[in-house]
Structures are given as structure tokens and as C-alpha cells.
């Protein structure tokens, strides 16, 4: 049985001294245990952070051209490894291969953005702020930063943070999800091949013990977390209480608002793609479809017809949708379906009846469509994180907008309409961090920043883009005088411009 371990000091951790706690890693399409992953205890956390700390002291002094060379090499190697990574992701997460390759591509975009670090780190300069005095600003790395990632994007989410943090001169300790830990080790190997010095990128495999060890370690200066809202809140509160800079991205319940003038075929395609892609295990998945009457009957019929054409099965067989990540998670999502039925929602398509193209032991649940869901039902109030799409019928735009704004989550949302005025009003009024206009999954490009509002993000920095650079550096302002000719003089007053 394969043993998946940590990556410390630029190489796989010595097997002889691995911690005794491990967790099984499954192939979700078969239900088989394919490996065991080491779960770090405190001694390994200490060792990983010490290695990163030592490396950060040298790496922060590396020139921008040295860093850029490593980043360009990493970008090149990552692009070449797309299919290798996709295979690894599909084997442990279950998403279909094309989707796995897609997440690598979106992560690659951040690596490309980070290649521009010499420009991104430029400070500002003011000549002559006082007689013979100049001021300039610089941004410097923080030291050791931790990245804690969820199961649903084992390559893309680490790549939202790691290239920028490294480009800015930090050392990174990545704690991936224990459910699909192998992609992190492919990334580690690529960084090493790209010429990154030992210890600048570390992978710490583990569970909450490793997370809490990082959150309380005095040498960890910042934490980028992505995961469910309860854990994001814990990470934010614990990390900030220990003096760290924290950005903690949490869960989601993304609404798609369809106005009566929308192109219903476009809207139906979008709802199905964004609702069931990656089996709904995307933080930007659409899970609530809010339809302004009188078009709900027509839209629901179109969606149901499209679902009937989807193939659920093993992600390696060219299917449209794969299994859920674990048996427990599949059962939890089925529990939500049962609650929806019990609460009186109309079950238009029942994913429990799916006949998958895959092994009987896989964690299957087909696309599920509920109509006439009300705001009180748990299928609406809770994040389900599975292939369950709920339709809510409203009478007006304002009623639809109020639903979106009253929901505790505020990650992504979309409006479908031909009315530019309504779309413009929506983008202004909606209390959500990422908005699509006739675009169902509005994930920003790397040079913009990714993140939600309300219970979808704790902290004040979003991921990547300008906010990413800001997060992984701290500012310094330098006031300079080169006396010429030299003269001083005593003056105990507060310095002002002269
Ligand atoms: P999770 O919260 O269970 O786990 C995330 C990370 O935290 C993992 O590395 C895990 O090992 C660790 N962890 C789990 N429980 C912990 C605890 N009690 N204490 C400390 N650490 C703990 O999330 P998940 O199931 O891996 O991922 C799915 C969730 O992530 C969904 O809620 C989804 O919406 C969210 N997500 C959000 C975004 C976003 O950008 N906002 C992106 C992707 C996923």
C-alpha cells in the first residue's frame, strides 16, 4: 500500500521517522483504499516550520531576477505536468479528467501572474518631500506563511497562494486536505525541479492537529485558509489571536437569478454546468436557482431535459460527472435530499436513482433537481456541496435580490437577463463578492482577486491579484536625507516639512 508523506527540506520526509497516525486515501470511483497518508503530530510541525524558517532567511535575500527565473521554470513545468496532475486529482478526488485539467489551468494562471513579481513589488518614490529629503516605500516578505487547502481543488487552491507567496520572498508550508494529498507532492517536485531552494516550499500532511500547530506557531506569520465556514471561523479566530495575518475563505450558497427576459436555453445550460460540474463540489457551484415568474415552468423543463442527457460515472471514462469525494459526504448529501423531500420540495430529478458508469463501490449520487423550494428549507439554508440544485420561484426582481442578500453566504452569484439596466443594478446592489452577468461561475482571472463576502470570507484580503501581493508582504516607508553640505542642529519639535 502506498504511503503518502510530508515534503520537508526539499525532499520526501524520512519514512523511518514518520508519525504513527495515518488516514486512508480512497479512490471515490471504486471505494477502494489506495494509500495511507501520514498525519503530522507536533514534532513534525515543528520540524517543517523550522526548515521553512531557515529557508526564508536566505530566500528573502534572493534577487528578483533569481525568483523570476524559478517562477518561469515552475510555470513551464506545471504546464507540462497538467495531465499527470489531472490523473492524480481524479484518482483521489473523483472529478472527471477534463475538469481536473481545468483546475490546473486556472492555477497555472496564478503562476503566470507571479512571474511579473518585479513589477508587482515596485514601491513608490517622492523626491524632495522636505528640503533635501526623499521618501520611498518598499514591500518586504513576511517570513513563513501557511496555506491550508480543502479537498475540492487539490491543485488550484494551493496555486492561488503559493506562487505569489514565494515570488514575494516568503517560505510556504502547505497543509493540503488529507482526502486528496498527492497533488501537493507533485507540486513540490515541480518546485524542486524549477530550482527553488530547499525548504522554501514544504508540504505538511495532516488533519486538525497540523492546522492548529501552524495556527499557534510563533514563526508562522500569515495563514491563507480555504475550507468550510465553521473551520474558516476557527482558523481566523485562532490565527489572529496568535498575532497572525489571516485570510480564511469559507463556504458558499451561490444564487443564480434568472429574469423573465433571459435566454432560457442559455440559462438552462448554465444552471446545469454550474450546478453539477465537479458533482457540485465547487465553492462557486450554483446551488440556488431563483427564477422570476412566469418562466419557471419552462426553465425547469429545460433543465430536467438536459440532466437526462448527463452521464454520471468514473471520471476516467469520459463521463460528465464523477462520484462524491467520500462515502460519508455522499451520505450527508443524500440526507439533505431526504430532508428536502420531507419538507415538501418537489423532487423533479432524483439523483439517488442514478445508474453510474462505474464500480458499484463508488460514492455515487446523480444530479438532483428540486423545484418549489422555500427559503426555510434546509436544502436552501445549508451549504450542501453536492449535485443538488434547488429552484426557488419569486414574483419580482426585488424579491429575488432580497433572497440573495439575506443569505448568510456571499461567495458568488450570477444574473441572467438581456436587460443591461437590471444587470447594472444587480451588480451594484448585491451583497456578494463575485458577480457574473450571464456568466454562471464568475471566478476572477489571476490578476483580479478571488473572494466572497459575509460568511464566505473572514479577514480583509481576497486571494491572488493585487490583494494577494498585499497579503504576502508588509510595507515599509523610508525617509532619507543625504546631508550636503553636512549640518544638523538641535530641534525637539515633531518633524514637519520645511
Ligand atoms: P474543511 O473545512 O473540512 O477542510 C479544509 C481544511 O481544513 C483541510 O485541510 C482540513 O484538513 C482542515 N480541517 C478540517 N477540519 C478542521 C478542524 N476542525 N480544525 C482545523 N482544521 C481542519 O473543508 P473541505 O471539506 O475540505 O472543503 C469543502 C469546503 O471548502 C466547502 O465548504 C467549500 O465551500 C469550501 N471552499 C471554499 C472556497 C472559497 O473560495 N470560498 C473554495 C473551495 C472550497
Atom of ligand 1 nearest to the CA of 385: 31
Report which protein residue has its CA nearest ligand 1's atom 22. Answer: 208
Q: What is the CATH number of the domain that holds 233?
A: 3.40.605.10
pLDDT at 296: 98
Q: What is the CATH number of the domain that holds 307?
A: 3.40.309.10
The verdict on residue 498 lying in a domain is no
pLDDT at 318: 96
How far apart are alpha carbons 220 and 235 in whole angstroms? 13
Verify that 73 and 87 share a domain, yes or no. yes
Q: Grid coordinates representing 417?
A: 437577463
Cβ within 8 Å of residue 151, ≥6 positions away: 93, 177, 179, 180, 281, 325
- Name the residue at shortest CA distance from atom 19 of ligand 1: 208
Please tell me the predicted confidence (pLDDT) of residue 25: 98
In a domain, 444, yes or no: no
> What pLDDT is stored for residue 391 in this prediction?
98
Could you tell which of 231, 286, 413 is best to mutate to test the pocket of ligand 1, judged by most ligand atoms within 8 Å of the CB? Answer: 231
Q: How many CB atoms lie within 10 A of CB 125?
A: 11
On the question of pLDDT at 19 being above 70, the answer is no
Q: Return the pLDDT at 17.
A: 61
Give me the count of residues in the chain. Answer: 498
The pLDDT assigned to 491 comes to 83
Indicate if 208 and 245 belong to the same structural domain.
yes
The atom number, within ligand 1, closest to the CA of 151 reads 26
Rounded to the nearest whole angstrom, what is the distance from the C-alpha of residue 152 to the centroid of ligand 1? 9
Averaged pLDDT, 396-423: 98
Measure the CA–CA gap between 379 and 388, rounded to whole angstroms.
Answer: 8
Is there a domain that residue 184 lies in? yes
User: What is 110-130 written as a DSSP string?
Assistant: HHHHHTTHHHHT---EEEEEE
Within 13 Å of residue 58, how many CA atoms lie on the same side as its CB?
Answer: 10
Average pLDDT over residues 14-33: 86
| Choice among 78, 108, 156, 283 that is catalytic | 283
When pLDDT is cut at 50, 70 and 90, the band that residue 126 belongs to is very high
Instruction: Clarify whether residues 347 and 235 are in a common domain.
Output: no
Shared domain for 217 and 265, answered yes or no, is no
* Average pLDDT of the segment spanning 302-323: 98
**Local confidence band at 495 (pLDDT 50, 70, 90 cut-offs):** confident
Judgement on whether residues 292 and 353 belong to the same structural domain of the protein: yes
Measured on CA atoms in the order 381, 383, 384, 387, is the torsion positive or negative? Answer: positive
Compute the distance from residue 64 Cα to the ligand 1 centre, in Å. Answer: 33
Residue 484 covered by a domain: no
Residue 1 has pLDDT above 90, yes or no: no
Does pLDDT of 18 surpass 60?
no
Q: What is the pLDDT of residue 497?
A: 67
In a domain, 488, yes or no: no
CA–centroid distance, residue 251 to ligand 1 (Å): 8
Q: Report the distance separating Cα 303 and Cα 49, nearest Å.
A: 50
**Is 283 an active-site residue?**
yes
CA of 471 to the centre of ligand 1 (A): 20
Q: What is the mean pLDDT of residues 439-453?
A: 97
Percentage, residues of the chain above pLDDT 90: 95
Based on the fold, state whether residues 333 and 228 are members of the same structural domain: no
Q: Ligand 1, residues 147, 210, 225, 227: which to mutate, most atoms within 8 A of Cβ?
A: 227
- Tell me if 204 sits within 8 A of 18, measured CB to CB: no
Among 203, 228, 252, 412, say which to mutate for ligand 1: greatest number of ligand atoms within 8 Å of CB. Answer: 228
| Cis geometry, peptide bond prior to residue 282 (ω within 30 degrees of 0) | no
- Name the residue of 150, 333, 462 to mutate for ligand 1: max ligand atoms within 8 A of Cβ: 150
Q: Which helix (H) or strand (E) holds 7?
A: strand 7-8
Q: What are phi and psi of 287, to 5 degrees?
A: -120, -15
Distances in whole angstroms, Cα of residue 451 to Cα of each of 41, 321, 344, 409, 454: 31, 26, 34, 12, 10
The backbone region for 279, taken as left when phi is positive above 0, alpha when psi lies in -120 to 50, beta otherwise, is left
* Stretch (H or E) spanning 292: strand 286-292
In a domain, residue 448? The reply is: no
Atom of ligand 1 nearest to the CA of 215: 20
Residues 176 and 260 in one domain: no
- Closest atom of ligand 1 to CA, residue 383: 32
Asked whether residue 367 is assigned to any structural domain, the reply reads: yes
The answer to whether residues 93 and 460 touch, using CB atoms and an 8 Å cutoff, is no
Examine residue 103 and state whether it is found in any structural domain, yes or no: yes
- Structural domain including 407 reads 254-437
412 touches 254 (CB < 8 A): yes
Whole-number pLDDT of residue 469: 98
Judge whether 185 and 59 are in contact, CB under 8 Å.
no
The number of the ligand 1 atom at minimal distance from the alpha carbon of 235 is 20
Could you please report the per-residue DSSP string of 197-257?
Answer: PTTSEEE---SHHHHHHHHH-TTEEEEEEES-HHHHHHHHHHHHHTT-EEEEE----EEEE
Average confidence score pLDDT of the chain: 97
The pLDDT > 70 percentage for the chain reads 98
How far apart are the C-alpha atoms of 163 and 181, rounded to whole Å?
19
Instruction: Find the residues whose C-beta lies inside 6 A of ligand 1.
Output: 148-153, 157, 175, 177-178, 207-208, 211, 226-228, 231, 234, 249-252, 283, 383, 385, 411, 452, 456
Q: Which atom of ligand 1 is nearest to the CA of 150?
A: 26
Q: Are 39 and 4 in contact (CB under 8 A)?
A: no
Q: Please report which confidence band the pLDDT of residue 483 belongs to, taking 50, 70 and 90 as the band edges.
A: confident
Please state the φ and ψ torsions of residue 15, each to the nearest 5 degrees.
-60, -30
Same domain? For 320 and 199 the reply is no
| Same domain for 284 and 235 | no
| Residue 133 pLDDT | 94
Q: Same structural domain for residues 372 and 463?
A: no
Rg over alpha carbons for the chain, rounded to the nearest Å, is 25
| Burial profile 241-257: b = 16 or more Cβ within 10 angstroms, e = fewer | eeebbbbbbbbbbbbbb
* Pair 244, 312 in one domain: no
Between the alpha carbon of residue 93 and those of residues 98, 177, 285, 315, 316, the distances in Å are 13, 10, 16, 10, 12
Indicate the number of domains in the chain. 2
Q: Is the pLDDT assigned to residue 485 strictly greater than 70?
A: no
Instruction: Give kind and range of the element (H or E) at residue 291.
Output: strand 286-292
Nine-digit cell at 113? 501572474
Distance CA 360, CA 364 (A): 9
Q: Residues 235, 273: one domain?
A: no
Summarize the confidence of residues 303-313 as an average pLDDT: 98
Give per-residue pLDDT as tens, 189-246.
Answer: 999 999 999 999 999 999 999 999 999 999 999 999 999 999 999 999 999 999 999 9
Ligand 1: residue whose CA is nearest its atom 30: 227
Amino acid at each position: 500500500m502506498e504511503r503518502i508523506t510530508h515534503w520537508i527540506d526539499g525532499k520526501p520526509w524520512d519514512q523511518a521517522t514518520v508519525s504513527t497516525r495515518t488516514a486512508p486515501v480512497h479512490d471515490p470511483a471504486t471505494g477502494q483504499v489506495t494509500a495511507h497518508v501520514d498525519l503530522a503530530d507536533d514534532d513534525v510541525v515543528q520540524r517543517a516550520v523550522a526548515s521553512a524558517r531557515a529557508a526564508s532567511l536566505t530566500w528573502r535575500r534572493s534577487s528578483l531576477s533569481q525568483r523570476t527565473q524559478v517562477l518561469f521554470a515552475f510555470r513551464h513545468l506545471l504546464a507540462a505536468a497538467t495531465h499527470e496532475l489531472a490523473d492524480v486529482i481524479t484518482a483521489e478526488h473523483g472529478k472527471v479528467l477534463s475538469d481536473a485539467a481545468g483546475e490546473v489551468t486556472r492555477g497555472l494562471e496564478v503562476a503566470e501572474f507571479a512571474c511579473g513579481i518585479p513589477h508587482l513589488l515596485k514601491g513608490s518614490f517622492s523626491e524632495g518631500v522636505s528640503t533635501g529629503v526623499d521618501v520611498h516605500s518598499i514591500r518586504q516578505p513576511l517570513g513563513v506563511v501557511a496555506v491550508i487547502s480543502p479537498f475540492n481543488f487539490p491543485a488550484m487552491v494551493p496555486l492561488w497562494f503559493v506562487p505569489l507567496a514565494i515570488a514575494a520572498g516568503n517560505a510556504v508550508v502547505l497543509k493540503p486536505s488529507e482526502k486528496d494529498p498527492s497533488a501537493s507532492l507533485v507540486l513540490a517536485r515541480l518546485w524542486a525541479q524549477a530550482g527553488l531552494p530547499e525548504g522554501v516550499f514544504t508540504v505538511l500532511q495532516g488533519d486538525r492537529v497540523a492546522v492548529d500547530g501552524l495556527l499557534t506557531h510563533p514563526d508562522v506569520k500569515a495563514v491563507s485558509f480555504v475550507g468550510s465556514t465553521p473551520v474558516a471561523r476557527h482558523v481566523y479566530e485562532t490565527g489572529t489571536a496568535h498575532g497572525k495575518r489571516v485570510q480564511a475563505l469559507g463556504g458558499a450558497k451561490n444564487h443564480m437569478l434568472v429574469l423573465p427576459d433571459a435566454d432560457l436555453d442559455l440559462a438552462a445550460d448554465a444552471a446545469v454546468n454550474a450546478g453539477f460540474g465537479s458533482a457540485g463540489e465547487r465553492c462557486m457551484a450554483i446551488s440556488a436557482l431563483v427564477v422570476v415568474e412566469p418562466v419557471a415552468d419552462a426553465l425547469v423543463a429545460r433543465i430536467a431535459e438536459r440532466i437526462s442527457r448527463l452521464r454520471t460515472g468514473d471520471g476516467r471514462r469520459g463521463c460528465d460527472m464523477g462520484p462524491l469525494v467520500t462515502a460519508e459526504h455522499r451520505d450527508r448529501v443524500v440526507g439533505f435530499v431526504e430532508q428536502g423531500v420531507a419538507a415538501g420540495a418537489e423532487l423533479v430529478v432524483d439523483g439517488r436513482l442514478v445508474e453510474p458508469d462505474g464500480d458499484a463501490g463508488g460514492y455515487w449520487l446523480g444530479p438532483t433537481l428540486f423545484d418549489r423550494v422555500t427559503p426555510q428549507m434546509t436544502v436552501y439554508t445549508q451549504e450542501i456541496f453536492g449535485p443538488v440544485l434547488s429552484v426557488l420561484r419569486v414574483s419580482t426582481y426585488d424579491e429575488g435580490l432580497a433572497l440573495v442578500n439575506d443569505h448568510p453566504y456571499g461567495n458568488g452569484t450570477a444574473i441572467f437577463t438581456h436587460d443591461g439596466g437590471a444587470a447594472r443594478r444587480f451588480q451594484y446592489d448585491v451583497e456578494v463578492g463575485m458577480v457574473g452577468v450571464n456568466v454562471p461561475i464568475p471566478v476572477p482571472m489571476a490578476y483580479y482577486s478571488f473572494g466572497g463576502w459575509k460568511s464566505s470570507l473572514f479577514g480583509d484580503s481576497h486571494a491572488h491579484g493585487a490583494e494577494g501581493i498585499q497579503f504576502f508582504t508588509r510595507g515599509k516607508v523610508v525617509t532619507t536625507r543625504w546631508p550636503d553640505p553636512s549640518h544638523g542642529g538641535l530641534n525637539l519639535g515633531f518633524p514637519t516639512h520645511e
